[in-house]
């Protein structure tokens, strides 16, 4: 391949990487550049943390429910 082909391939790859970074690190829909600025990445990370906290809370409730002695269980002894 010629040097020109490598130049075009490099430019295309650079543009693709730049567009990808801009998409993930750029502003989310409807945001303005002020103290409340949030990128899509910030939004996704916050949503992930919220979902993890909800799941942890649910699992803790299930654990407490499993640990409670059942009123219907018969004592063997």
In angstroms, the Cα distances linking 28 to 5, 16, 31, 33, 47 are 35, 19, 6, 11, 13
Task: Give the global pTM.
Answer: 0.48
Residue range 11-28, pLDDT digits in tens: 999 999 999 998 888 776
Sign of the CA dihedral with 63 first, then 67, 71, and 72 last? positive
Among candidate residues 18, 46, 53, 49, the one with its CA nearest the CA of residue 38: 46
Residue range 35-67, pLDDT digits in tens: 666 777 788 889 999 999 999 999 999 999 999
């Amino acid at each position: 391949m010629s040097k020109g082909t490598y130049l075009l391939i490099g430019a295309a790859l650079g543009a693709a990487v730049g567009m990808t970074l801009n998409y993930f690190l750029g502003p989310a829909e409807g945001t303005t550049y002020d103290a409340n600025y949030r990128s899509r990445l910030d939004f996704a990370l916050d949503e992930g943390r919220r979902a993890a906290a909800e799941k942890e809370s649910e699992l803790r409730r299930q654990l407490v429910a499993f640990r409670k002695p059942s009123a219907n269980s018969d004592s063997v002894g």
